[in-house]
Structure 1
Amino acid sequence: MDGTTPHFHSHVEEILDVLAKEPAREALVHGDRRIGAGELRGLVYAMARALRSQGIGRGHTVTLLSGNLPETLAARYAAGLLGCAVNHLYGGLSADVHADILRDVETRALIADPAHHERAADLARRVPLDRVLVLGGGTGTGVDLPALAAGASTEPLQGEARPQDICTIRHTGGTTGHPKAICTTFGQCASIGPRWPQEEPVRTLVCTTLAHAGGLMADTTLLGGGTVVLLDGFEAGAVLDAVERERVTHMFLLPPLLYQLMDHPRIDRADTSSLRVLTYGGCASSPARLAAAVRRFGPVLTQFYGQNEAGGISLLTPEDHDPRRPELLRTAGKPMEGVEVAVLDPGGRHLPAGEHGEICVRSPHVMKGYWKQPELTAEVLRDGWLHTGDIGYVDADGYITIVDRLKDMIVVVGGHVYTVELEDVLNSHPQVLQSAVLGVPDANLMERVHAVVVRTPGGDVGEEELRALVRERKGAMYEPARIAFVDALPLTDAGKPDKKLLRSRALPPTGAA
């Protein structure tokens, strides 16, 4: 950068500027630790210098394998300040998948927290890495980054990122195959999500992984001058305790986690009156359970529909969460400001309101592309549109309804079964808490509709009753060939129903239906 080029101010520098305004303000809460804004800001600058002393700089990829710790956020911001691309792994993936991802994105440095030091040591043996750093000493796995930072200056350091540099590399959850690396630039991250009105201080609870939407919530909160309360993971009782104790105002949950919260024995006694925004999204939700959540929490629910590839797409606002209008609760709301949505057929023709097709998006937040996969990028980014792979429609009022993932849509004799529509029917039964629908091939490799159902405590609804409900509501084509009952649906590390695992369980050893 020459002297005539103005300095690019990244979102990391914006967050650091906000932290500087009120250094004594509480910025992070983690267990018994309460970290002030000035302390967090100083830690970021010190960690940036520590990383630079290890040969890490602009254009390098830094991979995080770490939980919801204050040091995780500090390390992420420090790497961003240096202009590094940050790749944050889901902790629950296998060692083989972790190793594949590290190779894919050409990781220069792996930063792990002490809880993951064994996996970090294993990965260091599998993958050539320049540096392994640990967010706390005593493991013998790598360089202790906080200890290294303790000897570094906490004075401000000018950021080195450029708008076109890759800021984040996010991977798909791997539920439909090998994870894909999705690249977003620092320029695109310059406006990192909605800025909430500041009538009162924002206190955001992050109880899902910082590698997913929880990280965006933390960034947005700190940028707005709020406080982030970190839990190590989701446990419904601990979430209710934290909301009550910390007077939490904002929170993000995936729908299955929202249901667990609603089903906790203490839900009716917990004080959740501080909640102003309860955002949910990431997978399909049950209108019946959303209506119950509105009745319990009040008009605070906001549905966020988005993708790593596309960024934010649409919102269903609290005003639209009206239990008396269940048809709205089946939608994903209306497009966000600055986002264009079109429904296209396989030939690229724009479909009119009400017709089913692929949801396609144009916005400033659409990904730059998949990491070093130009052919795959060209498949998804066509004619200026990001093809989401979601099947749905837009109604005459502009509300988007998602009926399936293109890859999850089940092709049966006579037509297509949209899994979300069938899940809605099953979830409407008073003795069904949750369901997942998937296609399972039979001995002739024909797709058969398979449903996995979680009953309410004490519920005894059986296969025949649920099949009759489906026949009545959707017709024989939607009737499941098999319904299995389980105590709980397995979830991916991001908190979504793990249909890949369910599909593998549904396949008998012979491959027969």
Structure 2
Amino acid sequence: MTSNENYARRVLEALESDPDRIALWRDGEECTAGQFSRTVLAAAEMLRRHFTEDEIPIVAILTVTNSPATVTLRYAANLAGATVVHLHSTNAVDPTDQLAAAARHEILATTRATFLAVDKENADAARELCARLPEPPRLAALDALGPDVLDLSAGDPDLFDLGAVEADPEQPAVVLYTSGTSGKPKGVTLPYRVRSLYLQAGLQSPEPVVYLSTLPVSHSNGSGVDLALASGGTVVLHDGFEPGEVLRAVERHRVSALTLTPPQLYMLVDHPGLATTDRSSIRIISYGGCPAAPARLAEAVEAFGPVLLQFYGTTETSGISVLIPPDHFDPELRATVGRLTAEVRIRDVDDHRDLAPGEVGEVCVRTPFTMLGYWGDPELTAATIRDGWTHTGDLGSLDEKGYLRLHGRLGEVMKTNGIRVHPTDVENALLSHPEVAQAAVYCVVDDDRVEHIHAAVVLRPGTSADAGTLIGHVSAELSPKHVPAVVTFHDALPLTGAGKPDKQALAALHTDAA
């Protein structure tokens, strides 16, 4: 792929090369590559017919998240040269978690979308949003939904020339809204160049990929969909993650690739149906989003074999490091997030000097995959990207072999018992206990402004470890100064939109109880 080639063109060419194969599967409905291709081209032709030439058009998408419409509309808009803005969610893990109307209104007002592409499930909500805007976008859909909605299916796919499709490498292709620490969504803006690099980097598969998508296709997971379709494979769409359904889908569709968060990987390992499921089709289980516990990874390797691939990265930078399948068999390497795939410096959080191997500081990244910036927020962009380096807010250290270890987030480090305590270290210690399935460690500040270590734990079914047992285990694994002051037990941990344990919610539960 050249730097100015539109990534969506590459996907469409792969679809047209084998029109009879199944490209998408959802809820028992199949869509062939030929059907899917013509739907995309018809929508692209109709959109381009209605775009003006004096500005780059912006197409906002509001559809059922993990549906063919979401994928179709992104390809159609990008083929037509537009920038896509997803109005679905800031949640990178749960497709059913949707943005509130107020947040969608603000995004539409900020981006000044040209079109708002919808499906029948979201048409009324879209009309309400438009009614509140002084300059509303025009509604569009892949169906005839009324006189106020442009019917994109009425386009002529034969009039759209794929051979003429190119893109300015630096033009925004997709805006992905993520949740910020302030609660206000941040619009990560990715250019066509980065979307093309995603596809180029991933198209190394020697055979077509059957990809099971349980994460939202409107977020970073969309690149996995692109890769599967461009490889000549199939995408199986699920409306979220349920371990039993995932195992059944793996066996039924002969799934070869899936992407999970660490807690989801643990749930698969713990599921009673795992032993009786035919998993021989799986070639890659990629996972990321939050640090994984070495002890639990050892169990996953035993369950799935040499197929685990850990990615560490951010929406702003894409991949930073990778732990390849053979590395998972080394107990020392399971404590890392792998070797670097980007240029990384570990910098002191106070004076910003580069730190030596083994020292803990902020992970700063320079890579061609870096975002253009946060849409409409130059101040936040300047604070995040400084002199070409993206400041991730993650704490990490490099070893002498170039493997990266993570130690939590900048704001999570606790000063207690006279030392700095990194929550990830205590979590890994807890998760090395044979009766602990999940753990989250967080800080609670008392009325005297003293910081205390708290731990929330989910036990494995049928076990009965108590707080004293786990505190003694942490003391032996780390030191007495690392032990939690309070250990609480839960049936399940609350999760953030990124699939990480929601430590703010856990701290709030303690405050409410007090």
Written as runs of structure 1 = structure 2, the 5 A alignment for 1:44-193 is 44-52=40-48, 55=51, 59-66=56-63, 67-88=65-86, 89-90=88-89, 91-117=97-123, 119-127=125-133, 129-134=136-141, 143=149, 148-155=151-158, 156-157=160-161, 158-159=164-165, 161-174=167-180, 177-193=183-199
Tell me the residue number matched to 2:466: 462
Decide whether the 8 Å contact of 1:56 with 1:108 is kept in 2: no
Amino acid in structure 1 at the alignment position of 2:396: G
Q: Deviations over 1:346-387 (max 9, x none)?
A: 323211111111111111111111112222212111122111
Unaligned runs of 5+ in 1: 1-5
Tell me the residue number matched to 2:345: 342
Question: How many residues are matched?
Answer: 497
Q: How far off its partner does 1:96 sit?
A: 3.4
Amino acid in structure 2 at the alignment position of 1:70: P
Decide whether the 8 Å contact of 2:23 with 2:33 is kept in 1: yes
- Alignment equivalent of 2:433, drawn from 415, 420, 429: 429
Query: 1:227 and 1:285, CA in 2 relative to 1: closer, same or farther beyond 3 A?
Result: same
Name the SS of the counterpart of 2:157 in structure 1. Answer: coil
Amino acid in structure 1 at the alignment position of 2:372: K
Tell me the residue number matched to 1:317: 324
| Residue 405 (1) aligns with residue 409 (2) | yes
Query: 1:295 and 1:48, CA in 2 relative to 1: closer, same or farther beyond 3 A?
Result: same
| Residue 14 (1) aligns with residue 10 (2) | yes
Decide whether the 8 Å contact of 2:210 with 2:234 is kept in 1: yes
Written as runs of structure 1 = structure 2, the 5 A alignment for 1:200-219 is 200-219=207-226
- CA distance in structure 2 between the partners assigned to 1:104 and 1:331 by the alignment: 39
Query: 1:123 and 1:213, CA in 2 relative to 1: closer, same or farther beyond 3 A?
Result: same
Tell me the residue number matched to 2:92: none
Decide whether the 8 Å contact of 1:56 with 1:109 is kept in 2: no
- Alignment equivalent of 1:416, drawn from 400, 420, 424: 420
Q: Deviations over 1:300-335 (max 9, x none)?
A: 00001111111111110001010xx32211111011
Query: 1:465 and 1:106, CA in 2 relative to 1: closer, same or farther beyond 3 A?
Result: farther
Q: How far off its partner does 1:449 sit?
A: 2.0
- CA distance in structure 2 between the partners assigned to 1:131 and 1:320 by the alignment: 51
- CA distance in structure 2 between the partners assigned to 1:503 and 1:104 by the alignment: 33
- CA distance in structure 2 between the partners assigned to 1:261 and 1:117 by the alignment: 36
Decide whether the 8 Å contact of 2:260 with 2:286 is kept in 1: yes
| Residue 381 (1) aligns with residue 378 (2) | no
Q: Which moved more, 1:11-20 or 1:105-114?
A: 105-114
Q: How far off its partner does 1:492 sit?
A: 3.1
Tell me the residue number matched to 1:3: none
Q: Which moved more, 1:233-242 or 1:299-308?
A: 233-242
Decide whether the 8 Å contact of 2:3 with 2:196 is kept in 1: no
Q: How far off its partner does 1:415 sit?
A: 3.1
Decide whether the 8 Å contact of 2:412 with 2:442 is kept in 1: yes
The list of structure 1 runs, each at least 4 consecutive aligned residues, that deviate by more than 6 angstroms after superposition, is none
Decide whether the 8 Å contact of 2:142 with 2:152 is kept in 1: no
| Residue 474 (1) aligns with residue 486 (2) | no
- CA distance in structure 2 between the partners assigned to 1:197 and 1:74 by the alignment: 24
Amino acid in structure 2 at the alignment position of 1:244: E
Name the SS of the counterpart of 1:321 in structure 2. Answer: helix
Amino acid in structure 2 at the alignment position of 1:344: R
Name the SS of the counterpart of 1:314 in structure 2. Answer: strand
TM-score of the superposed pair, with normalisation by structure 1: 0.90
Q: How far off its partner does 1:389 sit?
A: 0.9
Query: 1:136 and 1:154, CA in 2 relative to 1: closer, same or farther beyond 3 A?
Result: closer
Q: How far off its partner does 1:141 sit?
A: 11
Decide whether the 8 Å contact of 2:456 with 2:489 is kept in 1: yes
Query: 1:413 and 1:320, CA in 2 relative to 1: closer, same or farther beyond 3 A?
Result: same
Q: Which moved more, 1:398-407 or 1:107-116?
A: 107-116
- CA distance in structure 2 between the partners assigned to 1:126 and 1:418 by the alignment: 46
Query: 1:229 and 1:383, CA in 2 relative to 1: closer, same or farther beyond 3 A?
Result: same
Amino acid in structure 2 at the alignment position of 1:86: V
Decide whether the 8 Å contact of 1:250 with 1:276 is kept in 2: yes
- Alignment equivalent of 1:331, drawn from 296, 313, 336: 336
Name the SS of the counterpart of 1:407 in structure 2. Answer: helix
Q: How far off its partner does 1:153 sit?
A: 0.3
- CA distance in structure 2 between the partners assigned to 1:382 and 1:326 by the alignment: 36
| Residue 285 (1) aligns with residue 283 (2) | no
Unaligned runs of 5+ in 2: 90-96
- CA distance in structure 2 between the partners assigned to 1:417 and 1:127 by the alignment: 48
Name the SS of the counterpart of 1:303 in structure 2. Answer: strand
Decide whether the 8 Å contact of 2:176 with 2:187 is kept in 1: yes
Decide whether the 8 Å contact of 1:209 with 1:494 is kept in 2: no
Tell me the residue number matched to 2:37: 41
| Residue 492 (1) aligns with residue 488 (2) | no
Q: Deviations over 1:164-221 (max 9, x none)?
A: 2111112223465322211111122221153354433211111111123321100112
Query: 1:502 and 1:107, CA in 2 relative to 1: closer, same or farther beyond 3 A?
Result: farther
Decide whether the 8 Å contact of 1:203 with 1:226 is kept in 2: yes
Q: Which moved more, 1:354-363 or 1:123-132?
A: 123-132
Query: 1:176 and 1:405, CA in 2 relative to 1: closer, same or farther beyond 3 A?
Result: farther
- CA distance in structure 1 between the partners assigned to 2:452 and 2:273 by the alignment: 40
Q: How far off its partner does 1:252 sit?
A: 0.4
Name the SS of the counterpart of 2:391 in structure 1. Answer: strand
- CA distance in structure 2 between the partners assigned to 1:177 and 1:411 by the alignment: 25
Decide whether the 8 Å contact of 1:60 with 1:85 is kept in 2: yes
- Alignment equivalent of 1:507, drawn from 483, 506, 511: 511
Decide whether the 8 Å contact of 1:134 with 1:141 is kept in 2: no
